[in-house]
Amino acid sequence: MIRTLIRPLQSARVIQIPIRTTVIVERVHPLTKLRPWENIYDYSKYKYIDFQYRVVRDTDTEKWGNIDVILAEYVEGVGYKGEIVNVPREVAYRELLPAQLALYPTKENIALFEEERKLLVDRPQISPFVMKCRDYLKSILLQIPMNLKLKDWSVTRDNIRIALRRINVMCDEDAIMLEENAVNQDTYKLGEEFNVVLKINPLVDVAIKCVIVPVDKAKLWDEYQLSKRKPKS
Q: Which residues contact 90 (CB under 8 A, 6 or more apart)?
A: 64
Kindly give the confidence (pLDDT) of every residue in the chain, 233 residues in length, as a single tens digit, with 9 standing for 90 and above: 444 444 444 445 555 656 667 888 898 988 888 888 888 888 888 888 888 999 888 877 777 688 999 999 888 778 888 889 899 888 898 889 999 999 999 999 989 888 888 777 766 666 667 778 888 899 999 988 888 888 888 888 999 999 999 888 898 888 998 888 888 888 888 888 999 999 988 878 899 999 888 887 656 556 656 666 666 65
Domain spanning 66-119: CATH superfamily: Ribosomal protein L9, N-terminal domain (3.40.5.10)
Domain spanning 129-218: CATH superfamily: Ribosomal protein L9, C-terminal domain (3.10.430.100)
End-to-end Cα distance, the chain: 61
**Domain extents in the chain:** 19-62, 66-119, 129-218
